[in-house]
Chain A
Amino acid sequence: MSQPDILNQAFELGFTYTRSTGPVVGRFLTELRDRNIVGIKASDGRVVVPPMEYDPDTAEALSEFVDVGEEGEVVSFAWVKEPRESHPSEQPFAWAMIKLDGADVPMVHWIRAGREADVSTGVRVRAVWAEETVGFITDINGFELVPEEMS
């Protein structure tokens, strides 16, 4: 008797729909595609990056966009000695909370750095743009350390 064929079908685990990111998240992502970073003013005037659609304290809809810098200061970081497969870097790197110039609230992204000792709270970093920007948060391909004499 011949062996029965094993039934196979390719399957990709993912969403089968697309979703509009709307006027706030969409604006931020579109600006990223154009290599520009925008924040939004919260009810109390603080500039929040990336922009939020609603103020977490007052629930007010937010709409006043503000350009912020692509450089900023590290508020906190975690040093990843052994990156995981899905992490954005194959080399050791730092996750960081970064307060961009002109922003009042830090954003979370990652920093390219050779050694843990190179990163510290308060150090200045600059966004590295992806070769091709498409309107994703990963258009910022991490941040790099700004040499001290330049900051």
Chain B
Amino acid sequence: MTDIAIVAYHQSKAVSDVGACNEVELIMPVLTEVYRQLGIANAQDVDFVCSGSCDYLQGAAFAFVAGVDALGAVPPIRESHVEMDAAWALYESMLKIRMGHAESALIYGFGKSSPGELPIVLSQQLDPYYLAPLWLDSISLAAMQARILLDAGRISERDMAEVVSRSRRNALANPNAQLAGDISADDVLAEETYVSPLRRADCAPVSDGASAMIICTVEKAREWGVPYALITGIDHRMETHNLGMRDLTDSRSTRLAAEGAGVGAGKVDVAELYAPFSHQELILIRALGLGDETSVNPSGGVLAGNLMMASGLSRIGEVFNRIIAGEAERGIAHATSGPCLQHNLVTVVEKA
């Protein structure tokens, strides 16, 4: 299969509340930055544009269409959207390029989660007959998953606290992080529980922001003359929406996606995992077969700032940044969607 090059990436700072700044105003600065990285003028200079966002966050059908205002879509452009994290917009864009319908694509994801009550907003994406009418929130769902792992002795509360501590410490070096600090596992364990067995620190914060990326064929990357990394594998798999029928202690879909993406074909220097809850990082590390040679979430991951509908794309962007900086030669990025890691996408990024 044709390798695809990542040539530009940028993410806004994750903030808890951008106030009156609207979605278009969140998107435009990240688009301007990726254009600048390539020396192009605007969306007219790429062949295809695909975005990822969630209308539930804005509380209006087709709200994502307003995001197109950030592109300046006149004269007409070829544009698409996924009601998913923008990591899946990247997947669609790769298909477009591989089919020969485009040489380059701009991808962006955005989420302004602060105006609503995010865990409750997400409850309305669950089964519409059996779960949504109960207003079962996303944090409580994750808490039930964590308890199954704790009861089974697969993890301890200290293991979870260590994930949080590493995230906050790594985030000190990430200027886009919302939560960063030199906190120890003991500091986390000293916190009272929030939705037991979870503590607040086990849960990703609510954040506003956006990220954008440009990908293209290798020929186009050479023409642009910028440093690039290669996407050498990508796959995504989904599990049933019936939580009771899933093994919540594992992530079968991540294992399958990792196999499909070829994660095992080489050493993994860095892994950026979309784990909105600390215990989920532990599930993912195991499902992906990662060992001590892999640096996990050097950015701090989403526990340090969680841009709904953009964090999955940002994981890929973070791995791209490490490779371009020469800190890693091969890395993997993971994106997730749905309750308790229901749907997972794995991408392999390598030095060109």
Contacts and interface: CB of A to CB of B under 8 A. Distances in A.
Interface residues of B, number: 35
Interface of A: 13, 21, 25, 29, 42, 48-50, 52, 56, 75-81, 84, 86-88, 95-97, 99, 105-110, 116, 121, 136-138
Given A79-B195, A81-B196, A110-B134, 11 more contacts: A56-B242, A76-B145, A76-B248, A79-B143, A79-B196, A81-B195, A84-B137, A88-B134, A97-B243, A105-B242, A121-B151
A137 B129 contact: yes
Contacts of A88: 134-135
Residue among B123, B129, B137 with most chain A CB within 10 A: B129
A99 B245 CA distance: 11
B131 A108 contact: yes
A108 B147 contact: no
B130 A95 contact: no
B244 interface: yes
Given A84-B137, A108-B244, A138-B134, A78 B129 contact: no
Contacts of A97: 144, 243-244
Contact of B134 (A49, A109, A121): A109
Given A13-B59, A48-B242, A48-B245, A29 B129 contact: yes
Given A76-B151, A137-B134, A48 B244 contact: yes
B148 interface: yes
B133 A96 contact: no
A99 B59 CA distance: 35
Nearest to A54: B240
Contacts of A48: 242, 244-245
Contacts of B134: 88, 108-110, 137-138
B70 interface: no
A52 B242 contact: yes
Contact of A78 (B123, B130, B144, B244): B144
B133 A77 contact: no
A109 B197 CA distance: 17
B38 interface: no
Ranked 5 nearest A-B pairs via Cβ: A78-B143, A56-B240, A79-B196, A105-B244, A86-B135
